[in-house]
Structure 1
Amino acid sequence: MPRAVERKEHPLSMRLPETDIAIIDRAAALRGRSRTDFVRDAAVRAAEDVLMETAPIRMSPAGFKAFMATMSGPAAPVPEMVELFQRPAPWESTRTGKRR
């Protein structure tokens, strides 16, 4: 008697308006992907985001105490961020050395 083979793939069917299909196809083409691959990856990423937003963070009492102490303490500037925010934006004029 033949053994049942476990399916590794499960079909998913959706009905979408032509405008949605056109957008998906255009984006998939820009990424060099098939519609199926593009939609699957986008759906999995969206699902992972939702799960990460709702996943509880577990830590020991000592870890929580250290976390709260860090969060309650004074903020320290990050030199790289300070430098980044002092740079003019790419669309700002740098010919005169002054920001608009």
Structure 2
Amino acid sequence: MSRPVERKAHPLSMRLPETDIAIIDRAAALRGRSRTDFVRDATVRAAEDALMETTPIRMSPAGFKMFMAALSGPAAPVPEMVELFKRTAPWESKASPSYTDAAPRGEDAAKRKSRAGKRR
């Protein structure tokens, strides 16, 4: 005789406008996921965020002193961050056009501005 199997998943039903479904489907497709997986992950993530915002952090008095000492002490550089900030940003490389090439500056910009003021 077989025993009934306990369901591990619980259905959740929602009524949403077509526009919301279209946005969800588009985002789910971009992530390569089903609508159900996408909505479940987004909902659980939002629920975890809400819980983390309201969950008190408990620590011993000694732990709190150590925590406060760490916050109050001098900052120490993180080697990976130092290296990251030394790199040239992709938009600053010589291969890509610079902002100054795309937007005229100086005298030309001033002339256009004065002409625009005279038209008013």
**Alignment-derived partner of residue 13 in structure 2:** 13
* Paired residues, number: 94
**Alignment-derived partner of residue 38 in structure 2:** 38
The alignment status of 1:66 with 2:66, answered yes or no, reads yes
After TM superposition, the score normalised by the length of structure 2 is: 0.66
Partner of 2:66, secondary structure, is: helix
CA distance in 2, matches of 1:33, 1:79: 37
After TM superposition, the score normalised by the length of structure 1 is: 0.77
Computing the radius of gyration from Cα coordinates, the structure with the larger value is: 2
Report the alpha carbon displacement of residue 79 of structure 1 after superposing the two structures with TM: 2.0
Letter in 1 for 2:44: V
Quote the sequence identity (%): 86
Q: CA RMSD in A?
A: 2.2
Partners of 1:25 and 1:35 within 8 A in 2: yes
| Structure 2, unpaired ranges of 5+ | 101-120
Partner of 1:74, secondary structure, is: coil
Alpha carbons of structure 1 residues 5 and 71: separation in structure 2 relative to 1, 3 Å:
same
CA distance in 2, matches of 1:33, 1:81: 33
Partners of 1:88 and 1:94 within 8 A in 2: no
Report the alpha carbon displacement of residue 43 of structure 1 after superposing the two structures with TM: 0.3
CA distance in 2, matches of 1:94, 1:11: 55
| Structure 1, unpaired ranges of 5+ | none
Partners of 1:28 and 1:35 within 8 A in 2: yes
